[in-house]
Amino acid sequence: MCGLVGFVDKNKNKKEIIKKMSDKIAHRGPDSDGFFVDKNIALGFRRLSIIDLKSGDQPIYTEDGNMVIVFNGEIYNYKEIRNDLIRLGYNFKTTSDTEVVLIGYQEYGVKILDKLRGMFAFTIYNIEKEEVFVARDHFGIKPMYYATMNDCFMWGSEIKSFLEHDLFEKELNLKMLNHYLTFQYSPGSETFFKNVYKLLPGHYFIYKDGELKVNRYFEIEFKPDNSKDLEYFEKRIEEELEDSIEAHKISDVEVGSFLSSGVDSSYIATRSKVDKTFTVGYEEKKYSEIPYAEDLSKKIGVENISKTISKEEFFENFAKIQYHMDEPLADPSAVALYFVAKEASKHVKVALSGEGADEIFGGYKMYQEPLFFPLYNKLPHPVKKNIGKLAKKLPAVRGLNMLVRRGQTLEERYVGNAYIFDAEEKRNVLSEDLRDYNYQDLTKPYYEKVKNMDDVVKMQYMDYHFWLVGDILLKADKMSMANSLEVRVPFLDKKVIEMGTTIPTKYKVNKKTTKIAFRKVANRLLDDVVANKDKLGFPVPLREWLKNKEQYDIIKKEFVSANKFFNVSYILKLLNDHFEEKVDNSRKIWTIYSFLVWYKQYF
């Protein structure tokens, strides 16, 4: 796991600039750095040594010296690809996966991407052709950003490194604030920095002679196979996960595992047979997963190392956490992830984690929603829409939100696992000139691709392209790298995903439970109580904390001076109503506060 940065311009002091840019992301790779600079380009690299500790330093060159690579990530099938290339007559100077990617590109060109199994973001520069090739992994586990400014093209693992280039112009992209208030993160390819873009998962770009061409090389396809029974899929899940976990343990350093109280991390920790598990919790017992993690770790004979987070630590570290995110993220579990990564980094360099299982195996409770009230669902849409409008005007009581949601089509109401402010609320929250961006401009093209699938698959598809990439994987990478720790995600393996997309909806969710097929597999390894446990997902006592005077005052201080972006009287009402226990506004408050804290870090 590492970090990289690069740029193409006519600057004469490239060495000085690339060193500053690289130093800005030193947390991604504190073990060593490396550079390639010529008259056209500068590449910088920070290394966290995991595989081939002695000879794996980067950049790495082809035998003829015409191509150079800087690489972030891990390739789990690199030995097989390496053997194929040796049979074709290639020689290797190292035993690293990085050199395999480079030589593979030399032989196969962009088709090397189809052969890779792993997580990655890398740059290969063809010195003779003066051509830059940059690729991001299939699922977006590793980040990659790029920008064109003032005759300079730059790219890298984190936006913050761009700020060190003297041609970079820092300007807030206000359009993203509107989308952020809906999603609680920055969705799509644009970022909060104007003219800075994300290279989306499964994409690569080629930059040559001042021209940028972005192409897609991978796209997930759901193809449910209704000809197979439940037992068939149980067997396939078990086989593919066993193979993936073993592949994800490949390392020349010790590997540990994150452990919450959920079935995903419990399965990985148990199946992987690591030596240490890592858990965080809170002083508020009902939110703490530590007792469960200690109990499971004892049962499977591994050491559990835990950290209890106080509300003071939570708030004191939040600005630092938003800085490391590069863009604002309002998911409070990111703080828990920061602390568990920090604790793990004291003991290991690599930790396994359970991200991705819910999106593929159907783990979110929201996926059960289309299965309930089938008779109500058959009502004409205009009728449901009017009922929904009426329900929205009534005082909040249990069940009314269902009527509000069912008053909209799935395409209107479902943007992913989080939906914070709707269009009407955003008109109240935002100041006058910061409105009128429709989130459906982002989601509609994705819904179009699965228009013939059932609603559960549509929701999975949306979460795969939005929630998973914009929230789950973003915080996994940024919070682990902030602590110089590599996090690996065995559920997000190419073979596991290919198999998972063939599971019919009836083996994923029903009215009683989620992840039906996977829980059956987990039952054979874990106690029934564990395998059938509801998902918590790093629970945080934020709802209670925001009712404390101390935390209320911290947030109120930020809100009263936020008139540049927000309707202050309205957001203060959100805060006060929550503080006075009239309504739970915790997620809305936290979304606004997170942006304001992030904005202070960068602007």
pLDDT, one tens digit per residue, over 290-308 is: 999 999 999 999 999 999 9
Quick one: which of 305, 270, 126 has its CA closest to 206? 126
Mean pLDDT score, 262-287: 92
H/E/C letters for each residue in 441-460?
HHHHHHHHHCCCCCHHHHHH
Q: 62-71, 282-291, 479-488: lowest mean pLDDT where? A: 282-291
In the predicted model, is pLDDT for residue 261 greater than 90?
no
CA of 303: how far to CAs of 293, 295, 426, in Å?
10, 10, 47
In the predicted model, is pLDDT for residue 252 greater than 90?
no
User: Quick one: pLDDT band at residue 396, thresholds 50, 70, 90?
Assistant: low
In the predicted model, is pLDDT for residue 229 greater than 60?
yes
Preceding amide of 59 cis, omega within 30: yes
Task: Give strand ranges (E) for 109-227.
Answer: 118-126, 131-136, 145-149, 152-156, 196-198, 203-208, 211-216
Mean pLDDT score, 575-593: 97
In the predicted model, is pLDDT for residue 53 greater than 80?
no
Which neighbouring-strand residues pair with 279? Answer: 306
Tokens of residue 5, six digits: 């940065």
In the predicted model, is pLDDT for residue 380 greater than 80?
no
Mean pLDDT score, 545-573: 96
Share of the chain above pLDDT 70, in %: 94
Starting at the edge strand found earlier in the chain, the sheet holding 276-282 runs: 303-309, 276-282, 255-258, 350-352, 486-488
Q: What is the pLDDT of residues 170-213, one digit of tens each?
A: 999 999 999 999 999 999 999 999 999 999 999 999 999 999 99
Contact between 179 and 233 under an 8 Å Cβ cutoff? The reply is no
Q: What is the pLDDT of residue 438?
A: 86
Q: What is the pLDDT of residue 55?
A: 56
Q: What is the pLDDT of residue 49?
A: 63
Q: What is the pLDDT of residue 533?
A: 60
CA of 2: how far to CAs of 30, 291, 323, 353, 534, in Å?
9, 33, 18, 18, 35
Please classify residue 216 by burial: count the beta carbons closer than 10 Å to its beta carbon, then call 0-12 exposed, 13-18 middle and 19+ buried: exposed
Q: What is the pLDDT of residue 48?
A: 72
Q: What is the pLDDT of residue 254?
A: 87
Q: What is the pLDDT of residues 109-127, one digit of tens each?
A: 999 999 999 999 999 999 9
User: Quick one: pLDDT band at residue 12, thresholds 50, 70, 90?
Assistant: confident
Share of the chain above pLDDT 90, in %: 81
Mean pLDDT score, 423-429: 91
Q: What is the pLDDT of residue 537?
A: 54
Residue 534 is given by DSSP the state: P
In the predicted model, is pLDDT for residue 28 greater than 70?
yes
Buried residues in 485-509 as b, exposed as e (16+ CB within 10 A): bbbbbbbbbbbbbebbbbbbbebbb
Question: Could you say which of 1, 2, 526, 542 is catalytic?
Answer: 2
Q: What's the rounded Cα separation, in Å, for the pair 237 and 361?
A: 10
**Domains of the chain (ranges plus CATH)?**
2-216 (3.60.20.10), 230-362+465-531 (3.40.50.620), 542-603 (no CATH)
Q: What is the pLDDT of residue 530?
A: 62
Mean pLDDT score, 204-232: 97
Q: What is the pLDDT of residue 269?
A: 95
Q: Is 42 left (phi over 0), alpha (psi -120 to 50) or beta?
A: beta
Mean pLDDT score, 237-246: 97
Q: Is 152 a catalytic residue?
A: no
In the predicted model, is pLDDT for residue 27 greater than 80?
yes
Q: What mean pLDDT, rounded, does the chain reach?
A: 92
Task: Give strand ranges (E) for 217-310.
Answer: 255-258, 276-282, 303-309
User: Quick one: pLDDT band at residue 354, thresholds 50, 70, 90?
Assistant: very high
In the predicted model, is pLDDT for residue 403 greater than 80?
no
pTM for the model: 0.94
